[in-house]
Structure 1
């Protein structure tokens, strides 16, 4: 089922939670709503579910207006961060609950409910827990049971609010891969809220980046990461270095480094900002490289196969972060406290205080 958000606004007192948002979620798509706390992503999810009413604007499910439709009539499955399982019920009873509270005329018989619950428990690979209770399961297992319960009523839309937020990093990584595989099997239109950029980029078909109630960028994960629409998206999607530049005739200069910025062809000696990710910083051990900046290595951190450097240059007011492989680091013979030369291999140039990308 497709979902259309049409010019939706939502305020809580003086706080604007959703600011004139329009989006369409395609049938069978897994979309991540990504943004910091207070960006409006959870409120938008609750408006889709019918748990919040928009101040204005419309919500349409598969072309039909659902704005005033009660939550019980929307065929929506909702999974919360903290599982919300009934502690006094077994796993089986938790998953069966939504089926057993259906109106009498729509309620399946006991045999059908049993078969459906056991099928769902097999789908989430937890059929062996049917007679256990939530407190006997791990956090990751409880979250999978919560998902099975949401799927039991055959929702046309699945909404997940920070579904893995209460779990540790290792379990989160395992569950998000599992969720991706599950979605590929069931193909239900799904929207999940997260503030974890790695989670959004790894799991989803599409990422919607939100900030202060507005959509900053909407697109495929690789497009969002490789071509951020503005500095906010660049900063939010992982570590990034900021260099102050001068733009002249389509070229942004950082010291001796020249960066192509063709959309600024008409600018003359204008201030600019160049954003460069740590893995896009080339590092050299000597000065014999054109267009490189002299730097001093302030800190070396080894993290598995990766070496992270913190460097200081005259051209940046901030510490410059660079990442390279352990093999490359050893090959260069770099040492903490020593010198290096760096050059951006890939960058984006923006005007200060503007949301227009141009590089």
Structure 2
């Protein structure tokens, strides 16, 4: 089922939580609402669910207006960050709950409820926990049970609010992969809220980047990461290095160093900031005469297969962050204190942002987001 969001606005007092948002979420896709605290993503999700009412605008499910439809009649399944399982009920009864409280004329028989619950527990690979209490399960298992409970009522749309936010890093990574496989099996229109860029990039079909109640950019994970439309999106999706640059005659330069730049013909001329990701910094042990900046290595940190370098360019105030495979450290002979050369191999220049810091979202002003 597709979801259409048309000019939705929501305020809490003087705080603008959602600012004239319009989106079209395709049927069967997994869409991530990504942004920092206070960006409006959770409020928008709650408006889609019917847990919040928009001040203005419309919500349509598959072309039908659902704006004023009560949450109980929208056909949505909702998974919260903190499981919201009934502690005194077994896993089986938790998953069955949504079916057992249906009006009598719509309620399945006991045999059908049992069949559906056990089928869902098998789907989330936890059928062996049916007679256990939630307190006897791990955090990751409880979240999978919460998802099974949401699916039990056969929702038209599945909504997840920071579903893995309360879990440790390893469990989060495992559940991300599991959720992606599950979605590929059931193809249910799914919208999930996250502030974790890696989570959104790994799991979703589509990403909507939000900031201060507005949509900054939407598209596939690859498109949003590789072609950010503004400095906020670039800086929010991973660490970046900033260089003062000037665009002139279709070319960007950091001093005398020419920068590789996407779509240079479409860039306005003037001063700006060049955004370069750490993995797009080439490290040279010697100056090859093809254009590079002299720098001194301030520190090296090895994290698994990746080496992270901090460097300072001569005359520069800020550190440059670079990443390269750990296996390249020895061949290049890199060590702290060593003079080396750095060369951006990919960059994006935003003219008019010179001498400005990357955009920063305002802190959360409402507990729901």
RMSD: 1.2
Structure 1 match to 2:358 = none
Contact 1:256 1:292 in 2 (8 A): no
SS of match in other structure, 1:167: coil
1:228 pairs with 2:228: yes
Counting only pairs closer than 5 Å after superposition, residues 160-171 of structure 1 correspond to structure 2 as 160-171=160-171
CA distance in 2, matches of 1:265, 1:170: 42
Task: Answer with 244-253 or 193-202: which moved more.
Answer: 244-253
Q: Does structure 1 conserve the Cα–Cα contact (< 8 Å) formed by 2:2 and 2:27? A: yes
Q: Report the CA distance between 1:263 and its aligned residue.
A: 3.5
Matches within 5 A, 1:1-359: 1-261=1-261, 262-263=264-265, 267=269, 270-314=270-314, 316-353=316-353
**Which of 311-320 and 124-133 deviates more?**
311-320
Aligned-residue offset at 1:353: 3.8
Residue 266 of structure 1 and its aligned partner are, at CA, apart by: 5.9
What do the CA deviations read for 1:216-254 (whole angstroms, capped 9, x no partner)? 010000111111111101111111100001221111111
CA positional deviation for 1:275: 0.4
Deviations 1:51-100 (A, max 9, x none): 00000000000001000000000000000000000000000000000000
Q: CA deviation at 1:161?
A: 0.1
Q: State the secondary structure of the residue aligned to 1:291.
A: coil
After TM superposition, the structure 1 stretch with the greater mean CA deviation from structure 2, 291-300 or 322-331, is 322-331
SS at match of 1:105: coil
- Structure 1: tracts of 5 or more residues without a match: 355-359
C-alpha separation in 2, matches of 1:208 and 1:266? 26
1:257-301 deviation digits (Å, cap 9, x = unpaired): 11255246663xx21110000000000001223110000100111
SS of the aligned residue for 2:33 comes to strand
Distance 1:95 1:151 in 2: 9
Change (3 A) 1:120 1:19: same
Write the distance in 2 (CA, Å) between the matches of 1:193 and 1:199.
Answer: 10
- In 2, distance between residues paired with 1:67 and 1:235? 34
Which structure would you say has the larger RCO, counting Cα contacts within 8 Å and 6 or more residues apart?
Answer: 2
The TM-score normalised by the length of structure 1 is: 0.96
Q: Secondary structure at the match of 1:19?
A: strand
Q: 1:274 to 1:235 in 2, by over 3 A?
A: same
**Are 2:244 and 2:271, in contact at CA under 8 Å, matched by a contact in 1?**
yes
Output the CA distance in 1 between the equivalents of 2:191 and 2:280: 31
How many angstroms does 1:315 deviate by? Answer: 6.5
Write the distance in 1 (CA, Å) between the matches of 2:111 and 2:102.
15
Q: Deviations over 1:181-207 (max 9, x none)?
A: 000001110000000000000000000
DSSP 3-state at the match of 2:105: helix
Contact 1:244 1:315 in 2 (8 A): no
SS of equivalent residue, structure 1 residue 228:
coil
Q: Is this contact kept in 2: 1:2–1:62, CA < 8 A?
A: yes
* Contact in 2 for aligned 1:252/1:272 (Cα 8 Å): no
Of 92-101 and 254-263, the range deviating more from structure 2 = 254-263
- 2:364 corresponding residue in structure 1: none
Deviation at 1:318, TM superposition (A): 1.6
Show the counterpart of 1:357: none
Distance 1:265 1:154, change over 3 A: closer
